[in-house]
Amino acid sequence: MPERHGGAKTASGRPPGRTRSHILRKQIIVNSTPNEVRVALLENGVLAEIHIERSGEAAAAGNIYKGKVLRVLPGMQAAFVDLGLEKAGFLHASDVLIPASSEVDEEEVQYDDTQWSGRYLPIEKKVKPGDELVVQIAKEPLGTKGARITTHVSLPGRYLVYMPTGGQIGISKRIESARERRRLRDAITAAKNSDGGVIARTSCEGLSTDDVSADIQALEKGW
């Protein structure tokens, strides 16, 4: 699969700061049968992503819905949300975003480094029956279980991942050059037009500032 790189290049034709050993080689492998299609993405020979679709099954993971909370179960620290699907979605307390603007009684907040937001509130303090939420399917329905859902929405682009409910900027750990990481962080900061968070994927390495900006703008517009 040919790679695309933008921006300045060295005499060898490679982006600055990237040696031959750091060039990311990608392969896409497709295996198809009458009942199933499997697509694998390899990065330098290592499996990075795999997608499986079976006939008669509509893939739901990644879909975004506006749902309504049906029940809140404090004992399970979870809620069930009507998405208009056959089964209600399962929403755990750790997958419910605490809006930065929300009024929270600090005496009820427990700080936990393992939590996405760094703060933990019991589910009954976050949602109640009848609340409407924008959620994304994180895990497909399985058997009698409904889909696992989250309010931490993420939209993958060609080079970036946009998180409209987040605020942080992250860089793929596979981009090892400190100089390149700083360059990408500065490019993302300059291109952002919203408060959403952005993560630079490995394919961002060596990408021009214009291409970074174009991907962010496309994702923000899509949202």
145-201 residue pLDDT tens? 899 999 999 999 889 999 998 888 999 998 999 999 999 999 999 999 888 899 999
Residue 219 in this model has a pLDDT that exceeds 80: yes
- pLDDT tier, 25 (very low <50, low <70, confident <90, very high otherwise): confident
Measured CA distances, 177 to 4, 48, 161, 172 (Å): 19, 20, 20, 11
**Would the CA dihedral through 37, 43, 47, 51 be positive or negative?**
negative
Give tens-digit pLDDT for 52-87. Answer: 887 766 678 889 999 999 999 999 999 999 999 889
Residues in CB range of 142: below 8 A, 6 or more apart: none
DSSP 174: T
The predicted model scores a pTM of 0.64
pLDDT at 100: 45
